[in-house]
Structure 1
Amino acid sequence: MDPVEALEEIAFRLERELASRYKSKAFRKAAGIIEPLGAAEVAAQVADGRLKRTAGIGATTYTVIEQATDGRVPDYLADLRERDAATDAPPGSLRTKLRGDLHSHTEWSDGTTSIETMARAAEALGHEYLVISDHSPNLKVARGLTAERLAEQLEIIEALDVHGSGIRLLTGIEVDILVDGTLDQTPEMLGQLDIVVASVHSKLRADAATMTRRMLGGVTNPRTNVLGHCTGRLVQGSRGTRPQSEFDARRVFEACAENSVAVEINSRPERQDPPDDLIALALEIGCLFSIDSDAHAPGQLGLLDLGAARAEKAGVPADRVVNTWPAEKLLEWARPASR
């Protein structure tokens, strides 16, 4: 098989498993080194031993390249494929009905790769669309986008012109809901975007009344489409654990339903947000949902499997999940004339 494709698929599958980013980065780096060489030159350098001595090509990545050049599926990739096959979504499941992902990050903020790489990964998963939703300026630790940087990103997304290539890129942002309930980006820039995910990232231990007012401010903003990872909790992972924020979930979800704002079911295993009881409450109230990966690397787009399984177990019907909708219906919902 093509050695570049083999290296990139390995990186993708490692990211999907939330393996160390250094491990997946090594495979992406090797792919970047050999891609400009072309297949014939790669084969020549494998044959005469030069590639084995190339900086950035380690023992494991070299073996992958050698086996792929020899016409085989590399052993490392075969093992990953076998592991992943056991977790594939069954036909007819909610996961198979998801057409896209409304929450993903790139190297523009705290993601690991380019917009183009994320788009290729989404297309490989069979997505019809992907929303690029990097952070807003208040989240400095994540290199949040100022209005000027966001405007530059929008130009680049438009220039990619991927609409006819099997994946449609939609413009977006994960915008902070600030302490006073306002959104951390100019109304002019928010008005140019296809999808706005609004999330709380700071002062998560505020009292319930303060947090409720803050979240209601974000949800009732006419530019908000999705309420992201609403409790802010962490239940596992390298960042440790964090209890969920305290707020009046019924009032917040009623505001979501009244304002046609989807409640995000965040697929990251360290978040599993909202908890099951809040998914049930939002379902009872009549909320829409968005099942999102919150991917920060291409392979993490595959985390949708986890969110879809939680939603299905909770009894969320497919027609209440906005990213089961075709792109045009999604955009009509996100930007109706009244908004």
Structure 2
Amino acid sequence: MDAVEALEEIAFRLERELASKYRAKAFRKAAAIIQPLSAAEVANRVADGSLKRMAGIGDTTYAVIEQAADGRVPDYLAELRARDAPADAPASGLRTRLRGDLHAHTDWSDGTTSIESMARAAEALGHEYLAITDHSPNLRVANGLSAERLTEQIEIIEGIDAHGGGIRLLTGIEVDILPDGTLDQAPEMLAQLDLVVASVHSKLRTESEAMTRRMLGGVNDPRTNILGHCTGRLVQGSRGTRPPSTFDARRVFAACAEKDVAVEINSRPERQDPPDDLIALALAEGCLFSIDSDAHAPGQLGLLDLGAARAEAAGVPPERIITTWPLEKLLEWARPAG
């Protein structure tokens, strides 16, 4: 088995499990170290012991490389594959109709890998498009992008697209909805992007009426396309649990329907946001939806399976899910002419 492929598959599977990002990064680092080496060179370095002494190669990654160089599926990879068997089952129903993902982060903010790495993983999953939506300046803990950094990122994404490939990268942002309802980036910057996800990340325990006004401000901004993880809740995971924000969901979803803003069905298992009752309410109010991974690492792009299953269980019609739309229709909706 190719050692680089084995290391990258292990990283992907760890990311999908939401394991510690440091564990996954160790495998990606080891893959990058041996990437320039031929299979013969890797085998020779295993044989003479020099590979084990290379900086960035630890005991576990060395064992993976050694077993792959010997023509075997590494034990650790076999263990992960067995553990992930249900996730590897063939996709069915709504999941097969999803064409892309409109909420993903890179190492420009709080993601773990490069734009190129996220693009390769999305393409491998069969995505037709992927929006890069790193955070905005107010979220300093997540290294949010200033206007200058966002401008630089736009140029890089456009450069990657110009070289062609099997997937279209879209320029985007996950912009904070600030307490006064404004968006945390200059309007002229937001106007340059293909797509804008607007989310609340701070003061989540604000009383209901103030939170409702805040969210309505974000939804009513003409540059907003998607309302991200609307309640901000956490139901499991390493960060603990967090109750949902309180707001007048009927008013907010009615505004989404009126302004043609899609309500995100966030696929992260620790979020499961919106809750089922709010998906039903948004459906009744006539909202569009966007099933997104909110991935912060390549393996997390596969979390779309979970969001699709929730949407399917809730009876959301595929035609009202913008991530089932072809790229041309999506872009026309996101940035209509005139």
Q: TM-score range by the shorter chain?
A: over 0.9
Which residue identity does 1:145 align to in structure 2?
A: L
How far does residue 123 in structure 1 lie from its aligned partner after superposition?
1.1
Q: Distance in 2 between matches of 1:230 and 1:220?
A: 15
Q: Deviations over 1:114-147 (max 9, x none)?
A: 1111111111111111100000001111111011
How do 1:1-339 and structure 2 match up within 5 A?
1-88=1-88, 90-161=90-161, 164-338=164-338
Kept in 2, the 8 Å contact 1:89–1:96? The answer is: no
Report if the CA contact (8 A) 1:89-1:95 is conserved.
no
Quick check: 1:293–1:301 contact (8 Å CA) kept in 2?
yes
SS of equivalent residue, structure 2 residue 84: helix
Q: Cα deviations across residues 290-321 of structure 1 (Å, max 9, x unaligned)?
A: 01111111111111111111111111111111
User: How far off its partner does 1:81 sit?
Assistant: 2.2
8 Å CA contact 1:235–1:242 kept in 2: the answer is: yes
Question: With structure 2 as the length reference, what TM-score do the two structures score?
Answer: 0.97
Shift of 1:163: 6.5
3-state DSSP of counterpart to 2:10: helix
Distance (Å, rounded) in 1 between the aligned partners of 2:208 and 2:196: 24
Structure 1 distance, partners of 2:101, 2:111, is: 15
Distance 2:32 2:333 in 1: 39
RMSD: 1.3
- Deviation, structure 1 residue 70: 2.3
**One-letter amino acid matched to 1:118:** M
Task: Provide the C-alpha distance between the structure 2 equivalents of 1:188 and 1:293, rounded to a whole number of angstroms.
Answer: 27
Distance 1:142 1:177 in 2: 15
Residues 67/59 of structure 1: CA separation in 2 closer, same or farther (3 Å cut) = same
Change (3 A) 1:100 1:203: same
- Tell me, in whole angstroms, the C-alpha distance in 1 between the residues paired with 2:36 and 2:114: 18
TM-score, scaled to structure 1: 0.96
1:75 Cα offset (Å) = 2.3
What is the rounded CA distance, in whole Å, between the counterparts of 2:40 and 2:154 in structure 1? 37
Q: CA deviation at 1:162?
A: 6.1
Q: Kindly tell me: are residues 209 and 160 of structure 1, through their superposed partners in 2, closer, same or farther at Cα, counting changes over 3 Å?
A: same
For 1:132 and 1:291, locate their aligned partners in 2 and report how far apart those are by CA, in whole Å: 15
CA contact (8 A) 1:231 1:246 kept: yes
Alpha-carbon separation, structure 2, partners of 1:43 and 1:124: 27
Cα offset for 1:166?
0.9
Kindly state the Cα deviation for residue 80 of structure 1 after the two structures are TM-superposed.
1.9
Deviation at 1:90, TM superposition (A): 4.6
Task: Give the whole-Å Cα distance in 1 for the aligned partners of 2:238 and 2:63.
Answer: 30
Work out the percentage of aligned pairs sharing the same amino acid: 81
**AA of the residue aligned to 1:306:** L
CA distance in 2, matches of 1:219, 1:46: 57
Q: Distance in 1 between matches of 2:227 and 2:33?
A: 40
Displacement of 1:189 after TM fit? Answer: 0.7
Q: Tell me by how many angstroms 1:198 deviates.
A: 0.2
Gaps of 5+ in 2: none
Deviation per residue, 1:83-139 (Å, 9 max, x gap) = 323234555411111111100111111111111111111111111111000000011
Q: CA deviation at 1:73?
A: 2.3
